[in-house]
Every structure is written in structure tokens, then in C-alpha cells.
Chains A and B, each alone.
Chain A
């Protein structure tokens, strides 16, 4: 998946490319498996991955307007850091298969994983719906966090602090698109996504409770 090269990144050999792919897919699976999901949760999780990948691919013509940041944030907020990061990695790898892979994929995966971790940390893995008053400012911060991390992919041996600041300045408009796009998704889809993610949490709790009861009764 990483075989394409970014001019500002290293050229990856096919073997290094494959190893990196395996590492990331393995990491995503491990993180998800460690969160001990039920079969139903796994199904919902993968369905959600597909929906968000499709959303990102479809919205590609709009510059930097993509639903991934919101989805990753909420996944982290409601399902925890591990599932959030696993979700972020899978969405990044799969969507970039359609819209272009390269050195940047690594930074996008890290960026969205950071957003998922931030979501889990900022909301203390909320079991209730996050109010818009809280969600919107957190999304602005998440968008900026992601943009800064992905800009790091542009750093090479010739990059100075000035040139890095220049690159950040050049991306201001696209950052604005990203922030505003996320706010739009949040007010239109935030509630529905949270409704979708909350039952996953409940399913987990219910299934654990059922298993406990089964153990006790057994």
C-alpha cells in the first residue's frame, strides 16, 4: 500500500512496503482484538469502517472535506483508544487504496490515531452522548492536531523551521476546509454516528452481563 512515493518522503522498496503494510494491519487487528469485542461489535465496527471509507472516497473532490476525523474522534470517545486507533488505521489504509497511497499514509494513520486517542482522553470514554457545545471545540482541536501531524510528512533533511512554518502557512486554507467540514459533519451526522456507536457499547456491556450470568448460573 505504501509503494507509491511522496517526493518529500523516502522511496520504499516493495519489501519495506509490504512489511509496513503488514505492521499496520497487524497493529490494527491487535488493537481491536485487545479491546475484546463481541462478534456483533466486530460486525458493526467493520461496517462503520466501510461507511467512512466510502464517505472519504466520495467526498474526495471537495478539498480536505472528509468525515474521517469526526468518526475517528467519536470512535475513540465512545469505544476507547484501542478501537479508535484500530479504526483510524483501517480507514486510512483502505481509503488510500482508492485515492492514493504513499509516504503520507503513515502520517495520516498516525494523525487520526492521535485524534482517536485525544477523543478518548478528552471525553474520558464517554458512555453518554457528547453535547455539541463540547464536541465542536474538541473537533476543531482534533482537526488542527491531525493537520500538524500530517504536515510532518513534508519534512526532509533540507527543511528548516522557517520552511516548515511556510508549509503550515500554505496549508491554512485547506485546514480551514478541514475544520469547517468537520463542524458540518458534526452538526449533521454527529448525533446519528453517536447513536450508532452507543449500541456497540451497550451490546458489549449486555453480552458481558449475559456471560457473567451464564457463569454464575452454571
Chain B
């Protein structure tokens, strides 16, 4: 083989390896779809053995009533149950309870369905037949929150508190009058039972003793998330949201971060707590104190699915949103993100559900009443295997590279050896540039650190004090806005400021980060930023914005 041919083959292999690295992390293909004639699917389907259960919520108008439907994995309808007394807001998650025995007697495996008209119904999973039915108090609506099962009881949030029923016969055991609730699921830990309400109150019930803690002005519309030392809640406020940690020892709240509007359901995965809202997915490490580890831009207001590889599937509640798929490393940092898109992309708050017995089945529904089952036919493309494949290809390519270079050197073709060497070095430099930028920034000599203070302008409103302020130096003049809080990166803050001030922006995404190409159509030679006088030496999405500070965008020289 001629040196030129060997070189070209090697380059193709290098490019193929790079292509493999960028491949999407999943390979689900559509098995079947069921379109409900009317009704939203706003709650994730439930998979039990080889059956898929899904609930639809009625529209705000019309005669269609909410129902629960069961399908097998081939898409065949097994049964359905319509609650003609329920009208709307049927969003409480379904719950499968496996057969057991307790103080009240024994029960077969059943599906528990909380309804907006206050009913809690138990169904035979095979036939849908009603096993028992209990009613709770209704105030506009009844049951909307997540129930939990412990021992032989089901604990469910009611409109005005919570109640416990025997699984065997549905007989009410206890009932607590607490605050008014909506979608406020219930949680349990050794310290008791926890629930939030529409007044921003966190309730704790331990051995019959009820305590309440004021989290602030807002709504708690999810089940509190239990951690080692306390409880995490995502309080919905009038202007956005607050992520709070309640220390169960000191019985005090700590603000972890402020965030966007309409929080979704926070949840824990290992020692990490994940929150979602209209602006970000945030990950907190709650192994000791809850500290934010990472965040990523997202618009998610409902549930999040977790697959067998512990990837997070975050439905985007926007038109054409798709699902954001995130992988975390052992420190909780987001190591990869990709988008799972289908022809049904649209508003969605229901999470995809994965079969627990096999990772090859995924079911999801959306706000348009479409239910889809996907199967992962090529198992070899699971994340771990793909990672190994990529590692193998990179290793193989490196071996091939060394071997080919050696061959060229031995054969005396210096030019081809140099071509491969420099091209590989350039590609490598491009690939590791994000890490290199960080290393260079961190290892910058102390003597070279610039701290040109950006002075507070007396023209600025006092409310901007201790907030995030953005300045954009356009040729036509400077645009300044402030009062921003809770933005983690320069990119997020800039986007928020530009949206608020109707400034058109253009960004370019590279492997090593996101760069702003233009503001108000002004391109120049690119834009650079300084934060509190310090030049940004990494991309805008990688530069952490302090909780208060001055960000200034200027045309690059």
C-alpha cells in the first residue's frame, strides 16, 4: 500500500471515531402508537410486568371524561376504566401495589388510581375490575398528588391534608387536616411523613404529632424530597421559584438557589437531588450539605424519567421540545446531554417510563393524548457498551496512528508522517480545548490576574445592588440592565437579559463551548466578556456567573 493510501485510510478512521463519539446515546425505535381521541396525558405511564397503564385527563371543556387504560406490549387494549364523575385535573400518578397481607387482610396485585373528584379506586391489574373505592373531601377538586405505600397502608394527599387507607379493603385508618394542596405529593422517612401545601408550608407528621414550617410565600406542588439531613423542596413563587433545604435537626430553611417559573417534580437519584423548572435542570449533591453541582438550560415543568442506565429523561414543555437526555457522572456533573426527538414533539409534562425488568421498553405520552411505546432493538448500543466501543475505537485509532507514522518514518516518507502528526495534534487540541482553557485559567500566574473593578454607576437603580448586571457595548451605545438573580453562567444571564430587552442575538456552538456571534446584528470580530473586570477565558456557557456581579460584553479586538 502506498503511503498516501495508508494516510487517507487513517484519516478516515480518525474521522469515523470522532463521528462515533458524537452519536446519540439511545437507539429506541417506535413499536406502536395509540392516539386517545380526547384528553391529555400529563402523568407518566406505569409499566408492570408486561402491561402498560396510562391515564388521561379530561379537557377543560367538553364531555370527554378521564380514564385509565391498560395495554400489552404489542399495543393491544386490555381494559379501560372511565370515571364519569371526575371532570378534569386528573394528574395524580398511578401506583401499582403488589399482592400482600396486613392488619386489614390480604390483597391481590392492584392498580391504585387517585381521581380529581376525590375518589381513590383500586383495580385488578389484569381486568381493570374495581376492587374497592373510597372518597375523600373535594374542594373544586380532590386527589391530585402522589400517593405512597408503606406496610399495608396507602398514604395519599387529599385536598385538605392527607389520609391513610388499608390496602386490603380501602378502609380509612387516619386522616389529617392540613393546608390546601394541589399536586402536593407525600413522602416518608424515619422522621415521619412530609407534605407541602399551597401556602408554602411544609408539614411533618411523626407519631401523630403534626408540625408545620413556613418556607415562604409560594406553593409546594410536589412531594418533598428526602435527603440524609433533611428535606429539599422547590417552592413556586410569583416571580419564579426557590429551591430550599429544610434541616430536620435545626428545623430551619436554607436557600439553595433561586430559579425559573413553574417547577417540575424534584426527585432524588442516589445522593443527588434534581430540580426542574422553566429555565434549568439543576443537580444538587445532598450527601452532606445540599450544594449545586451542575445545571443545564431546559424548560421542564413536570416529571422526569430515569432509565436503566440512570440517565435522566427530561420532557421539554415547549412546542417541538422533545426530551432532554442527561447523563451524570459520579460527582453529579452532567457529562453528556442529547435530545430525543420524535414526530410528536410538543408540550409535555409526563415523563417517559422504562420497563424495570428490561431496559428495552420505553413508553411515553404527551399533552396531545398520544401514547407511544418504543423498543430498543439493538442492545449493543446501550450507553455503557457504546462508551466501551468508543474507547476501543479511539484506542485502535491511536494504535493505527502510531503504527502508520512508524511505517512512514521507516519507509522514509517524512511528509506523510508529518501530515498525520500535525493533523492529529490539531484535532486533539480542538477536542481537549475546553479542558485546556480551564487549566490555563486556573494556572494563570497571580501576578497576571487582572481585577479591574467595574464601578457601580450612580445612575443605576438601588434595586440592582447585589444582583447580576449586564452591560452590552453596542456601537450605537451601551445597553445596561440589572436586577437579575439566580443565573449560573454568563450564557444564561446574557440570554435572559437579551430576551428581556428584545436584543437579537446569534450564537455559535462549538465542541468547546458556546460563543456569542452578534448582539443586535453587530458581529465585529466576535464578542468577549468580562465579569467583575476579569476577562472571560472560557466560553460563555462554561463561565460561572457569581450571584452578584457585573457582566460586560464588548466587541473583540
Contacts and interface: CB of A to CB of B under 8 A. Distances in A.
Contacts of A65: 426
Contacts of A103: 557
B190 interface: no
B208 interface: no
Contacts of B433: 63, 173, 177
A101 B525 CA distance: 7
B557 A173 contact: no
Nearest to B525: A100
Interface string B420-439: 00110110011001001100
B466 to A, nearest CB: 27
B446 to A, nearest CB: 11
B213 to A, nearest CB: 48
A120 to B, nearest CB: 25
Interface residues on B, range: 35 or more
B171 interface: no
Contacts of A134: none
B429 A177 contact: yes
B525 A62 contact: no
A4 B524 contact: yes
Contacts, number: 95
Interface in B473-498: 473, 475
Given A6-B524, A184-B422, A187-B422, A166 B448 contact: yes
Given A6-B524, A132-B418, A184 B557 contact: no
Given A5-B475, A6-B555, A103-B557, A172 B440 contact: yes
Contacts of B524: 4-6, 100-102
Interface in B434-454: 436-437, 440, 444-445, 447-450, 452
- Interface residues of B, dominant DSSP: mixed
Nearest to A3: B475
Interface string B527-557: 0000000010100000000000000001111
Interface residues of A, number: 41
A104 B557 contact: yes
Contacts of A172: 440
A194 B141 CA distance: 81
Most chain A CB inside 10 Å of its own CB: which residue of B418, B437, B452, B554 = B418
Contacts of B429: 176-177, 180
10 contacts: A5-B524, A101-B525, A107-B557, A162-B447, A165-B448, A169-B445, A170-B537, A177-B426, A180-B422, A183-B422
Interface of B: 414-415, 418-419, 422-423, 425-426, 429-430, 433, 436-437, 440, 444-445, 447-450, 452, 473, 475, 508, 510, 522-526, 535, 537, 554-557
Rank and list the top 6 A-B pairs by shortest CB-CB distance, nearest first.
A7-B554, A166-B448, A6-B557, A100-B525, A187-B418, A184-B422
